[in-house]
Amino acid sequence: MNLRKREQTGLPLLIAEVGFNHEGSLDQARTMIRAAAASGADAVKFQTFRAADLALPTAPHFELIRSAEMSPEQARALADTAREAGIAFFSTPFSLDAVAMLEAVGVPAYKVASMDLATPYLLDAVARTGKPVILSTGMATLGETGTAIDRLRRAGAADIALLHCLSLYPAEAGDCNLAAIGELKRAFGLPTGWSDHYPGSSACLAAFCVGADIIETHFTLDTATPGGDHGHSLDPAGMLALVDEMRRMAPMFGGQDFFNRRPDRQHAAAYRRGVYAARDIAPGETLTMADLLFCRPESELTPRSVEAVLGRKAVRPVTAHAPLSQGDVDGTNA
């Protein structure tokens, strides 16, 4: 999986986070994979767990989590569906068994959830696969993030990316603080993106504008579906609109050395002002501002060089509206 796609194409790696919006239905999950591919996503991401990996049996959300469990056979079926649809399939493991299961499936990368940035044994297991790791940083300080990165590297992870993330569902606009994307990039020198929990696509588009290398956003077939992450997800139409908008915007960002190669430079002579005679000027007349017009296009004399003619005498006739040249005036002040 290309964590540096934006450097090469101008567009971020776009991940459709299905999570458990499939609600345990294999058919629903397959439909979502196909819809994500058709909507322009580069990858589709699931979550691999058993309910006991995440919650105690007495927890009120235990049964909801358990309903979204998937077997190894189902994960392989989803990977096959993704391959057929032309989209990368990977997942967030929540246990050592989940890592082993995903290795058997053959995922191209791993996502580490924000909650597991501080789970060393899981960081080690993911890193030991040698595959790219995308680390979400929800709830974390810079120090904690640095500790997790060091742990991943020591365990064998060479290709690491970070996602600025708010572990709020949904996040409010004022919570997003997308400037943190740049702060994480500067602090760690890694590809950095945005894991979106804000309704609609505006935060994703804003993240793109501030330089996100990766955008991960929850994905659903219908944002009106109750429960889960549906309400702050993008549906296929929303995902497609986001992709289209980023494609339109990507050329606008440009690159380095703009001022030595700006495309409008060729129009400077046509759009800048020259110095023209405001009236017929006879030889011997002393030139004042009232005798001059400053109009387009640029001529031999420009507003920057007007001091070279003011207060000097014309040495030859100049007709009204003709451009003035240095040769039209003598070299000394009158």
150-174 tens-digit pLDDT: 999 999 999 999 999 999 989 999 9
Residues 271 and 173 in one domain: no
Q: Is pLDDT at 41 greater than 80 in this prediction?
A: yes
| Average pLDDT rounded to a whole number, residues 313-319 | 97
- Regarding pTM above 0.75, the answer is yes
Residue burial 106-141, b: 16+ Cβ < 10 Å; e: rest: ebebbbbbbebbebeebbbbbbebebbbbbbbbebe
Residues 221, 303: one domain?
no
pLDDT band at 333 (very low <50, low <70, confident <90, very high): low
- Domain ranges, residue 318: 265-333
pLDDT value of position 221? 87
Among the listed ranges 93-97, 122-126, 228-232, 263-267, which one has the minimum average pLDDT value? 228-232
> Which pLDDT value is given to residue 332?
63
Q: Where among 195, 227, 253 does a domain terminate? A: 253
pLDDT of residue 58 exceeding 90, the answer is yes
For residue 165, give the nearest of 154, 176, 179 by alpha carbon.
176
In whole angstroms, give the CA distance from residue 192 to residue 201: 18
| Any domain includes 260 | no
- Checking if the pLDDT of 77 tops 70, the result is yes
pLDDT at residue 334, as a whole number? 53
Model pLDDT for residues 79-91, shown as the tens digit of each residue: 999 999 999 999 9
Q: Are residues 83 and 209 in the same domain?
A: yes
pLDDT (average), residues 276-291: 97
* Whether 73 and 99 share a structural domain: yes
User: Residues 146, 285: one domain?
Assistant: no
